[in-house]
Amino acid sequence: MMSKEFFTHTNLTFVPNSFCNFGCKYCYLGKLTENKDKNGDVISSLKKILEKITDDGVLVSSLNLHGAEVTTLPREILEGIFQTYQDYTQKYKVQLKSLNKHGENGIGIKTNLYNFDKLRDLFLKYNVFVSGSFDLPFTHHEKFRVLKNGKSTLDRVRENVLLLSKYPKNLQQISCTIGKFALLHFDEFCDDLEWLDEQGFDMVGKFYIMFIYDSANSHFKTGLSDDEMVLFYEKLLKRFKGTKFEDGIYYNWFKEFTHGYCSHQINCGATNHLYQKSGDVYPCHRSQPDGRLKYGNIFEKGFLEITKSGIEKMKNYEASNKAIHSDCMECDYFHICNMGCPVERMDRKSSKSYTCKLQLALYKAQPKRFKADKVASIRARDAYINQMQPNVYLDEKVARPMRFNPEMIEVKNSLNAIIQRDEKLKTLYKNGAIKLRINDNELIPLFSTTKLRKQLNINLFKSDKLEILVEYEYMGLNDSDENSLFIMFLNNTSVVYGDEQRVKMSHIGEYIVHKSKGVKEDGHYVFNINEFFLKTSNKFLNEEFANLVCFTTTNARAVHYKKQSLNAFYHLEAINLPFHEFRFNYKE
């Protein structure tokens, strides 16, 4: 019998210290980085955090070290951290291999590179993945990324950047932080980027850009406006169009702002945890100055309890943020963005993400990768408001999606199930009960697109002889002396109809042909329909299969509408014309 069942894995972001040797003028952590930490308890704290998470059946599949600046810790403390996690992965290597399909049981560190030369050998010993961060252009770094005493860090950082370029390629990546300076000195930014490429860095796949935002804790405001971000992106495209760097622009350089990151979740509290050595848990590095975002303490609560607390904390926090922006209420990319980072919005007192316009530009540049989806966005937006900003719906002027009734997905209420319980509907929806005959020989059985959920497309020519064949059984449905063939033509021009205000295809022609006009032939009434196509042809669209024609009888049509009045589920399933139909091109 298993001693312990593990059911999932998580990545552990561990903050062993809050001190930073830099005094970046735009830092959002404020005075937090001035704390002089005692480090004697770092290793024991990490062991206890690992133990508490593991006790709840969750394995730690990677260790990410974040600070302030982790490399300010003594070497022996860093080695103790690395060894502790290495021992952990050895102890649970079988379980980790099974649960973590990516197999990344590694250690990663985010660093300003100031002390990289002193620790490179230690990082190599433990295969530490090093993510180096600096500012571009380098003159921006010199001005803004300074030591606490105001002295420049540039020369030493550049030397260590060169040293990092010789570090194993699979264990390195770099990122840069930019503000207005990068736009004002754009050519210099690009020159520095190309210089980094010449040093051997993978500037397409292992480099990304972070934008400064003007935090309340920043000493200097240098963030780009949303329009300036788009301008910066457009200038990059113009500069690097047709080069290898173009792929970087679309796929990696702005990866934090497009999709898949913590900032694009409805509630990041469910998956994002940052553990300080004290055991206090926050969602991320940005959130540490804000006590409202403390989930609790892992030493006092288990991992699962911390997760529940995180979800509730983020709900309450987001509810106190500015209400969702009117632009977001109409955006068809909401299902990708989900409002962006709530911490950043709270800090700036904004109702939408600071990278919104840039994100839209990136989405629209890759429409197959980032699809505008009205329905998905309506659902995502409703989920977001219900969970995170329920007060928005207290305003009765704010429209909300129709309430979902779970009965709608019960099989007994599906169209096919309803048809099987009703003999008249069986006749009305019978495949091939109405057929199209072309030029006396080609016979095409028609069907209800609504029922079969597939579309029939046919190329027709003005010279074709066109006939519709209606089975006796279908014509006999609720038959009467006045029963007639009913023909409806539509095209893809959108029109808003009726009280429902639904956007539907345009009805461009309707024709009724008394059954007496049909010729009886082999169990069918046969009607020549050429004249109806010719009469309506001036309204046909030249776009590919943008025209539709459907056929029923006046009495069968009445059966359909009566059933709609009796059964709400049938009405929903057959809300669009459910009759035998096909789309067509009509050519000379």
pLDDT, tens only, 129-162: 999 999 999 999 999 899 989 999 999 999 999 9
Going by C-alpha positions, the residue among 552, 526, 551, 547 that lies closest to residue 536 is 547
> Is residue 1, in this structure, part of any structural domain at all?
no
Going by C-alpha positions, the residue among 256, 243, 159, 163 that lies closest to residue 207 is 256
**What mean pLDDT comes out for the span 44-62?**
95
Residue 104 has pLDDT above 70, yes or no: no
pLDDT band per the 50, 70, 90 thresholds, residue 105? low
Q: Where are the alpha helices (DSSP H) in 166-276?
A: 180-184, 186-198, 226-240, 245-251, 255-258
pLDDT band per the 50, 70, 90 thresholds, residue 583? very high
> Is residue 499, in this structure, part of any structural domain at all?
yes
Q: Residues 21, 69: contact at Cβ < 8 Å?
A: yes
Q: Where are the alpha helices (DSSP H) in 259-414?
A: 303-319, 326-330, 334-337, 342-348, 356-365, 374-388
**Which amino acid type is present at position 109?**
I
pLDDT of residue 1: 44
DSSP helix/strand/coil, 463: coil
pLDDT band per the 50, 70, 90 thresholds, residue 442? confident
> Is residue 283, in this structure, part of any structural domain at all?
no
> Is residue 345, in this structure, part of any structural domain at all?
no
> Is residue 449, in this structure, part of any structural domain at all?
yes
pLDDT, tens only, 298-357: 999 999 999 999 999 999 999 999 999 999 999 999 999 999 889 889 988 999 998 999
In which residue are the tokens 């792929």 written? 247
Going by C-alpha positions, the residue among 325, 323, 262, 321 that lies closest to residue 292 is 321
pLDDT, tens only, 264-290: 888 888 888 999 999 999 998 888 888
pLDDT band per the 50, 70, 90 thresholds, residue 118? very high
**What mean pLDDT comes out for the span 12-31?**
83
**What mean pLDDT comes out for the span 406-429?**
95
Q: Residues 210, 177: contact at Cβ < 8 Å?
A: yes
pLDDT of residue 103: 58
The residue range of the domain holding 499 is 415-586
Distances from the Cα of 431 to the Cαs of 350, 360, 362, 490, 559, in angstroms?
56, 45, 46, 21, 17
- The single-letter DSSP state of residue 348 is H
User: Phi/psi zone of residue 282: left (φ > 0), alpha (ψ -120 to 50 degrees), beta?
Assistant: beta
pLDDT of residue 405: 82
> Is residue 377, in this structure, part of any structural domain at all?
no
The percentage of residues in the chain with a pLDDT greater than 70, rounded to a whole number, is 98
pLDDT of residue 401: 82
> Is residue 104, in this structure, part of any structural domain at all?
no
**What is d(CA 428, CA 420) in angstroms, rounded to the nearest whole number?**
11
Domain count of the chain?
1
Structure-token pair, residue 194 = 């190309």
What's the predicted TM-score (pTM) here? 0.78
Higher pLDDT, 158 or 218: 158
Q: Distance between the two ends of the chain, CA-based, in angstroms? A: 77
Residue 36 has pLDDT above 80, yes or no: no
pLDDT of residue 114: 96
DSSP helix/strand/coil, 66: coil
Higher pLDDT, 214 or 3: 214
Residue 210 has pLDDT above 80, yes or no: yes
> Is residue 82, in this structure, part of any structural domain at all?
no
